[in-house]
Structures are given as structure tokens and as C-alpha cells.
Amino acid sequence: MARDTDMMPDTHIPEGSAVPLGTRMELPGRGTTFVRHAPGPEGAPTVMLLHGWLATGALNWYRCFEPLAEHFNVLAVDHRGHGRGIRSNRRFRLADCAADAAAVIEQCDAGPVIAVGYSMGGPIAQLLWRDHRDLVEGMVLIATGAEFVAGNRHRYAASALLVASAGTRMGAAATWLPNRLARAALPAGKPKERPGALAAWGRSEMSKQSGRVMLEAAHAIANYSAKHWIGDIDVPTSVVVTEDDSAVSPEAQLRMAMSIPGAHINRIPGGHVSCIDPDFGRKVTDATCDVAHRVELGYAPLPPDSVREG
């Protein structure tokens, strides 16, 4: 895997953590991003992990690096304004995040990949397939949908509220929101499950978020809709539905899954923060191995027209 000689190592991972070290990577014409790499078996396919809103590549996937690396080379990127991701004055766009991921894949000479997207990372994976088709050979979509706010009226109202808040005290208040969320999601207790050093690291990860970008990202998510082209996806796909999710309804997740030709559906208990469950890594690995097996077999779903005619 090709590496940029200017990459700087991340030295803040707690000792004994399963989270791999990360490096900064300069993407020409785009900015400096941050990538974690867990090497897998020689010749193994590559998985690109795409995290959700308010998270980072490490926080979203810390349960997954170890089990996935038993079968795959694993890359995880911090999206724009998240963690150590690209800092830019441009408005946050999901398509830019997909283009950033594509640039990482190309620079690492790692494609085509299986794109694994969680929540906001789901649209990024879908856009990576749509806009950079040669770099994606399969997808795993978790706790996500083809759209997040049903109906144009509700979508535009939600977007207007988020845009307005960016210019008010609410925008400034967003700078402390991630750390508050971190304290709730990664409490200092349960020393066997989350040692104090790991919990402190988690809070530190979330404190790096850009408040402005968090609001702009929420605006982008509220406006996202792939319903007119989600049925064109032509790579093996598995959809992991979080059955107790109150952020992205299970119904919306299932609608997306049913719209993707040949998609396999995996239901798991838990809500929108299922990524912190101890067995989450194995569940993601199972879904990813399922996709990899279908890729290896040369599986291609029938075009939507063929399905309807049949």
C-alpha cells in the first residue's frame, strides 16, 4: 500500500487499545486528512470504513478494527471537520467526503474496496459508489438510509433551522456538544470494558470536532436523498438494520435495503449507538465477509428492469 512520506503518526492511542495508529495524509488539491490502517492478510481485499455524524474513524469503528483485520486490509478516514479530518472554509458536502475517500483509496493504491458506512457514512458510501464506481466493489450500509428526513417540506424546514442556527449562539454552543456527548457515550466507569485511558481518549476524539461543520453536516444529512438512483446500485451489498433505532428508523433502513437490488438484510438489536456494543465488530465483520464472498463469486444483482419483468 503506497504511503505519503509526509504522513505524521498519531501517538495518542491508549496503550493496549485495539485501535490502530493513524497518520496524516496530504490529498493534493483537497487538504490534509487523517487515516487509520489495520493491515490484514497478504493479498486480502480492502475495506474502507466511513463513520457517522459527530464521530471519528476511531470512535465509530473501535470495535471493528481487530475482527475485520483478520480478513481484510482496513482503512478508516476522519471526514471533513470531524476529528483530525480536512479543515476547509467550504460548506460541508457529503459528496466532498466521498471524493476525499476516493482520493485516499487512490493514493494508497487500495481499490476497489468494500465501502462500509455507518449512519452519515452510509450516504458517503453510496456517493462513493455513484461518483467513483471503479473504486467500489461492494458495500455494507449500517444504521442508515437513502434519505433521512421524509418529505420535502420537512426536509427544507429542518435545513432552514440548521442553517439559521449556524449564525447564532447555537452555532457557538455546538463547539461543546461533542464533549458532552462523549461523556455520555464513553463514561469513565466499567474499567474492564472501557479503561479510563480509553474513555479519556474517546472524549478527546470528540472534542476535536468543528462546531460549524457539525451543523453544516446535519444540514447536508437532512437534505440527502438517493431515492431516485439507489436502485441502480450494482455491487453486492449488505444492509445492517438497527432494530431499536430512534435516529434513523428501522422502516427507513428497510426501505433502502429493499430498493437495492440483491441486498442482504441483517437485523441487529440496539439503537443508533450500536457501534459501542461489544459484539458490534463481529456483526460488521460477518456482513462484510458476506459481501466479500459474493464479490469473489462474481455475483452481480439483476438490473431493476429485469427484476420487475421477472
Mapping DSSP onto H, E and C, the string for 208-257 reads CCCHHHHHHHHHHHHHCECCCCHHHCCCCEEEEEECCCCCCCHHHHHHHH
Q: Is 197 part of any domain?
A: no
- Structural domain boundaries enclosing 296: 1-147+227-310
How many C-beta atoms lie closer than 10 Å to residue 8's C-beta? 13
Q: Is 215 part of any domain?
A: no
| Res 3 pLDDT > 90 | no
Q: Is 195 part of any domain?
A: no
Q: Three cell numbers at 96?
A: 466532498
SS3 192: coil
The Cα–Cα gap between 299 and 235 comes to 8
pLDDT band at 170 (very low <50, low <70, confident <90, very high): very low
| Res 220 pLDDT > 60 | yes
The Cα–Cα gap between 58 and 276 comes to 11
pLDDT band at 196 (very low <50, low <70, confident <90, very high): low
Query: Which residues, other chains included, contact 191 with Cβ-Cβ below 8 Å and sequence gap of 6+?
Result: none
| Between 175 and 107, the higher pLDDT residue | 107
Q: Is 91 part of any domain?
A: yes
Mean local confidence (pLDDT), 69-91:
94
Which pLDDT does position 155 carry in this prediction? 55
CATH number of the domain bearing residue 79: 3.40.50.1820
* pLDDT 10s digits, 121-139: 999 999 999 999 999 999 9
Lowest-confidence range among 5-9, 280-284, 290-294?
5-9
pLDDT band at 2 (very low <50, low <70, confident <90, very high): very low
Q: Is 211 part of any domain?
A: no
| Res 42 pLDDT > 60 | yes
Mean local confidence (pLDDT), 161-168:
48
Total domains, the chain:
1
Q: Is 81 part of any domain?
A: yes
| Strand 31-38 relative to strand 136-142, pairing | unpaired
The Cα–Cα gap between 268 and 263 comes to 16
Q: Is 187 part of any domain?
A: no
Q: Is 156 part of any domain?
A: no
Cα Rg of the chain (Å, integer): 18
Is the preceding peptide bond at 112 cis, omega within 30 degrees of 0? yes
| Res 4 pLDDT > 70 | no
Mean local confidence (pLDDT), 96-102:
98
* pLDDT 10s digits, 225-249: 999 999 999 999 999 999 999 899 9
Q: Three cell numbers at 199?
A: 474513555
